[in-house]
Chain A
Amino acid sequence: MASYNGIFERSALGQTNTVPRTGTLDTSPDIIPFGIGCVSDPGTFFSDDYEKDPSVPLEANQTNYIYLRGKNYSGNIIDDSGEQRPRLFWTKASLLLFPQAWNELTQSPSGQAFSLTADAAATGVVSEPFIWQPDNIENDHYCLIAQVPSPGYDNAIPGFNGIDQFNAWVAGHGGIAWRSAAVNNSTSLTFTGQGMGYQQGPDAFMIEFVLICKNLPVETKVSFSAGAPGPEPAIFLPPTAVNGPDFFTGLESMVPANYVSAIYYNITFPKGTTPPPDAQVSLQAWYRSGSENGIEKVIVLGSNTLHFR
């Protein structure tokens, strides 16, 4: 047994930095699938929650977020950025022993590279969540594998001759985490994608983000999110049911200056329905710019219309 004096990834709650780890290996609470939701301040949220597993099942065919954290057991700050950035892979369990078939998640909400910085004895959280749109899965399940570098430790991914060798590799490497990911298969027609590349500009504002839904079937569920941290509250509209032909829904959020994030939408049609030919949704962002002659002006900062043809 040895102490791992770097950014340590647990394989289960309650562990400290002793390697090789014992017990369950595929339930790391430091890989945090968070479903289609996001948080305003992941650094605080997930470090305050370190003794819990706040994960949420992922949704197939929708845009999901996955956070990563780790506790720094060294005596110095560790800055995992650039070539030392944290990495996250997904694979079907049936391909777990074939790293060359793993898929790296490289998409961040802002387009910036991932990083993870942790002060000595503190918990660090990835700078932005990893984005993943998993397919439905049958007769198998998804696995997530994280690789978090620390000075003086080799957390390289080798080849494996069998599951025992894989288990030994995970157990013995404090910068490696493995988690079986729960994914809810979609059971009706679902669309997801980037609705807007949002850029705030040099001033912070209270912004209203809305999804305008035209001719969508009643009970269609719509949601959207911008995963880059900063806005308060987070730009995340949970699934909300459409209840008419010209319906809109959204939220208000204080967006900091120079904020940049892709905004993703998810649209799930009721079972057995498809979008009518004239169905469309428009994602808009606007702010109130003050009154003129007694009429308050609202400036639309961005608008993107999506068709289903």
Chain B
Amino acid sequence: MSKLNITHSKNHLLSGDSAREEFKLSYEQGEEGGRVQFSLVCNNIPVGSTVGFSADKPGPDPPIYLPPTLVTIFPAFITGIVSQILANYAAEITYYVVFSQTPTSGASVEFQAAIIAQS
């Protein structure tokens, strides 16, 4: 059975006061490289909104870049990419939500980075 170890996680409540809400996370890979899953977990974000992320430093294969991705299901939608990350890689990752309409209260987005491990 494989495991995921979540090494970075930030959760944000979204007010919907502006059409686009953007956040940043400092990512540090540490001394071991590996396959890393970068996810956005969207809760109560309206269908038709878009989410995405990108890192400000090259190196990972494929790059840490999720193009604008449509939220297709309510209330809980997940999307992301898997990338091979070299040891000691560090970058600032920007992630965002662009709302298709004002979200209901309780809307949130969580950014996660999880190392894929085998047990």
Contact = CB atoms under 8 A, between A and B. Distances in A.
A252 B110 CA distance: 13
Interface stretch (A83-91, A103-111, A167-175, A230-238): A230-238
A295 interface: yes
Nearest to B65: A244
B1 A300 contact: yes
B86 interface: no
A296 B6 contact: yes
Given A244-B81, A248-B82, A295 B5 contact: yes
B-side interface mostly: strand
Interface string A233-250: 100111111011111111
Interface of A: 208, 210, 212, 214, 233, 236-241, 243-253, 286, 288, 295-300, 303
Contact of A243 (B43, B69, B83): B69
Contact of B70 (A240, A252, A298): A240
Nearest to A303: B2
Given A237-B73, A239-B72, A251-B78, A297 B62 contact: no
A296 B67 contact: no
Given A208-B78, A247-B81, A252-B78, A297 B5 contact: yes
Interface of B: 1-7, 9, 37, 39, 41, 43, 62, 65-70, 72-83, 114
A230 B77 CA distance: 18
A236 B73 contact: yes
B46 to A, nearest CB: 14
A296 B79 contact: no
A258 B69 CA distance: 34
Contact of A249 (B3, B6, B43, B79): B79
A299 B3 contact: yes
B82 A212 contact: yes
Contact of A297 (B3, B70, B79): B3
B6 to A, nearest CB: 4
A296 B78 contact: no
Contact of A252 (B9, B41, B69, B72): B41
A100 B80 CA distance: 49
Contacts of B72: 237-240, 249
A249 B67 contact: no
A88 B70 CA distance: 36
Given A246-B83, A295-B6, A251 B73 contact: yes
B67 to A, nearest CB: 5
The 9 closest A-B pairs by CB, nearest first: A298-B4, A252-B76, A296-B6, A250-B78, A246-B82, A249-B79, A240-B72, A243-B67, A238-B72
Given A296-B9, A298-B4, A298-B6, A251 B67 contact: no
Contacts of B67: 243-244
Contact of B76 (A251, A295, A298, A299): A251
Contacts of B39: 248
A210 B1 contact: no
Contacts of A299: 1, 3
